[in-house]
Amino acid sequence: MSSRFTRSLLVLGLALPALAATPSPAPPSSRAKDPLAPGAVSGNPAERAFAALAADYLRGFFAFEPSFATTSGLHRYDSLLEDRSRAAIDGETARTRRVLAGLKRIDAGGLSDSTRIDYDLFSRQVEGHLFDLTEIRRWENDPSTYNYAGGIFSLVARSFAPPEARLRSVIARLRQVPRLLESGKQNIKNPPALFAQFAGEDFEGSIEFLEREVPVAFTAVKDSALLKAYEEAKSAAEAATRDYIKWMREDLTPRAQGSYVLGEERYRKKLHYDEMVDLPLDTLLEVGERELDRLEARYAAAAKRVNPNVGLDELIESMRRDHPSADSLIPYATSLLEDIRSFCITSKFIDVPSEVRCIVRPTPSFAAERSFASLDAPGPFEKRASEAYYNITLPNRTWDSARVEQHLQGYSRWTLPSVSIHESYPGHYVHFLYAKRAPSLVRRTMGCGSFAEGWGLYVEQALVDHGYKKDDPRIEFGMLRWALVRACRFQVGIRVHTRGMTMDEAIALFMQHAHMEEANAEREAYRAAFDPTYIVYTLGALQIRKLRDDVARAEGPGFDLARFHARILSQGALPVALLRRILLRDSGPTL
């Protein structure tokens, strides 16, 4: 899958998936315990047909995506690495078309209201998967598509099996790395130069991950033969990786002239399939501009509350300088989580339905180049390993002191509370806890980024508005700074891909309106190339805010904020268009 699924299922604990081989059928005993098998389905033949089709599609999809399956808690594919040969891609494309044909044969009018929600979500997601394969074609234009580190990391991250068993799966996947990278050489045609540049950095991080982080995860393994097998498989994988990097730098990059720009038609299709949003792009830009103006005005007002005697530039500089050191960043972030969690509960913003805490750790090296902070939570089918991690990216050891300082300024003590709210309480981690209650297989495994990331941004502001740190205006100021970043993403994502905005113009926009340091502004701007619809943060936050206000208006004095939050999170990561049908029984505008 593409970044569409990465983002949309973040709250369910699902990580970056890839194109994969179909394994041999499981023995009958395994099939009997298949968590993807349709349960008892009451109702008419249409209900039964849809349940069977959805389960069959998901079973085939996870077979096509073994690393994704591992992260999701489906471990029958743990020894398989992605098959991205052209034959495998063509096979998945044909399979997806067959599923869509089967979907059209189902009488959707005969489904219950609840199943019709699943049907509409499922159909858009499957259509979007086909769109990614046939029109976005990252397998053909992005060499980092062939990075295997996520598949290894999914075996390292959690103790879902004894370390010896997981190490055997690591070895099995590493032995398939040369084949995977050879597929990359065969498939990649004319990528954007930016994609080729970043891919080289990503693969360097993968080698470091194998050298430094994987061995630490298996220190309990004492089987010398197994450890030797790992070293041999690692050496072969690293040699193939270095050869791939050399090919990218000496052959691919000099001739890389492709464009990362989607264009208006493909951009509108992505929003249609991924987010169930069909507003004209000009209308979306107007909505985004109004939100940017609103946030800038509130930002200026908050600045006066922090210190009315200094200008905005001086105040921002004070905020940037007030940050933990590289060594203390992780402990400092850890200290924030309990305070935020306690406030969520005592203020009746939302109940936290688990005593299991979120663990703060450094972002793994292979993901650090394009990640600032993120949540890594167990997948919806994981039965044993319950760890959830809040990842924070530490400075690279190779950076000079000036770049380290510039990076750390992004983790100011004024802004880190909002980052932590977004990723942990009551953001992605709490969403993950509630999403496990989703009422169907489809809602537990499919969703949209505008809800997942929209929820994270929504709670950043809503928790402050609810009174969190109300006596410390620096926290509101820091929250607004990050809200401005997302509002800038809204503009940049649309304008880069449909209005001819250059990367230099995008960087300047982030620096001017979000007051970002140049290095972080550059990272944000470049992200638009890889993640075209990263407008979903602001888009979803605005949709959720409107939904909350509309439900409060409909329910009157009986409206309960914590109950509202629990209700929407318990549906998984549904597009707000579908949540309106559940909560308000209408299909009114979401913005």
Inform me whether the pLDDT recorded for 22 exceeds 70: no
Query: Do 251 and 271 share a domain, yes or no?
Result: no
Query: Do 229 and 283 share a domain, yes or no?
Result: no
Looking at residue 27, its pLDDT comes to: 37
Give the pLDDT band of residue 18 (cuts 50, 70, 90): very low
List the one residue out of 290, 305, 233 whose CA is nearest residue 81.
Answer: 233
Mean pLDDT, the chain, as a whole number?
92
Asked whether residue 569 is assigned to any structural domain, the reply reads no
Cβ–Cβ under 8 Å, residues 110 and 44: yes
SS3 385: coil
pLDDT digits (tens, 9 = 90+) for 93-103: 999 999 999 99
The residue with tokens 């209700």 is: 567
Cross-strand partners of 359: 389
Query: Whole-angstrom Cα distance, residue 99 to residue 55?
Result: 11
- Domain end marker among 217, 241, 258: 258
Looking at residue 40, its pLDDT comes to: 66
Q: How many CB atoms lie within 10 A of CB 465?
A: 11
Query: Do 271 and 253 share a domain, yes or no?
Result: no
Looking at residue 367, its pLDDT comes to: 65
Query: Do 178 and 195 share a domain, yes or no?
Result: yes
359-362 and 389-392 as β-strands: parallel, antiparallel, unpaired? parallel
Mean pLDDT of 405-419: 93
Query: Do 307 and 238 share a domain, yes or no?
Result: no
Query: Do 217 and 110 share a domain, yes or no?
Result: yes
Residue 395 per-residue DSSP state: P
- 67: Cβ–Cβ under 8 A, 6 or more apart, which residues? 15, 16, 17, 18, 20, 81, 82, 150, 151, 154
| C-alpha dihedral sign at 81, 82, 83, 85 | negative
SS3 194: helix
Query: Do 470 and 488 share a domain, yes or no?
Result: yes
pLDDT digits (tens, 9 = 90+) for 117-151: 999 999 999 999 999 999 999 999 999 999 999 99
Asked whether residue 586 is assigned to any structural domain, the reply reads no
Inform me whether the pLDDT recorded for 160 exceeds 90: yes
SS3 392: strand
Mean pLDDT of 152-174: 95
Rounded to two decimals, the pTM is 0.90
Looking at residue 370, its pLDDT comes to: 60
- Tokens standing for 246? 């050399």
SS3 141: helix
CA-based R_g, the chain, Å: 23
Q: Is 564 left (phi over 0), alpha (psi -120 to 50) or beta?
A: alpha
- Tokens standing for 259? 């464009």
Query: Do 167 and 88 share a domain, yes or no?
Result: yes
Query: Do 7 and 123 share a domain, yes or no?
Result: yes
Residue 397 per-residue DSSP state: T
pLDDT digits (tens, 9 = 90+) for 548-558: 999 999 999 99
Asked whether residue 44 is assigned to any structural domain, the reply reads yes
Q: How many CB atoms lie within 10 A of CB 443?
A: 24
Looking at residue 8, its pLDDT comes to: 36
Give the pLDDT band of residue 472 (cuts 50, 70, 90): very high
- Domain end marker among 258, 290, 318: 258
Inform me whether the pLDDT recorded for 13 exceeds 60: no
Inform me whether the pLDDT recorded for 24 exceeds 80: no
Asked whether residue 245 is assigned to any structural domain, the reply reads yes
Mean pLDDT of 523-543: 97
Give the 3-state secondary structure percentages of the chain, helix then strand then coil, rounded to 5: 65, 0, 30
List the one residue out of 146, 61, 142 whose CA is nearest residue 96.
Answer: 61
- Tokens standing for 420? 């932590």
Asked whether residue 367 is assigned to any structural domain, the reply reads no
Cβ–Cβ under 8 Å, residues 546 and 522: no
Longest dimension (CA), the chain: 74
How many domains does the chain contain in total? 2
Query: Whole-angstrom Cα distance, residue 361 to residue 57?
Result: 35
Query: Do 247 and 293 share a domain, yes or no?
Result: no
Asked whether residue 561 is assigned to any structural domain, the reply reads no
- Domain end marker among 197, 227, 258: 258
Asked whether residue 360 is assigned to any structural domain, the reply reads no
Give the pLDDT band of residue 533 (cuts 50, 70, 90): very high
**φ and ψ at 376, to 5 degrees?**
-125, 105
List the one residue out of 324, 408, 336, 413 whose CA is nearest residue 372.
Answer: 408
Pick from 11-25, 191-205, 277-291, 330-344: least confident = 11-25
Inform me whether the pLDDT recorded for 232 exceeds 90: yes
Asked whether residue 89 is assigned to any structural domain, the reply reads yes
Looking at residue 467, its pLDDT comes to: 98
Query: Do 456 and 528 share a domain, yes or no?
Result: yes
Inform me whether the pLDDT recorded for 586 exceeds 80: yes
Give the pLDDT band of residue 29 (cuts 50, 70, 90): very low
Query: Do 152 and 278 share a domain, yes or no?
Result: no
**Edge-to-edge strand list for the sheet holding 359-362:** 359-362, 389-392, 373-376
Residue 154, domain extent: 3-258
- 245: Cβ–Cβ under 8 A, 6 or more apart, which residues? 200, 203, 204
H or E segment at 376?
strand 373-376
Residue 248 Cα to chain centre, angstroms: 26
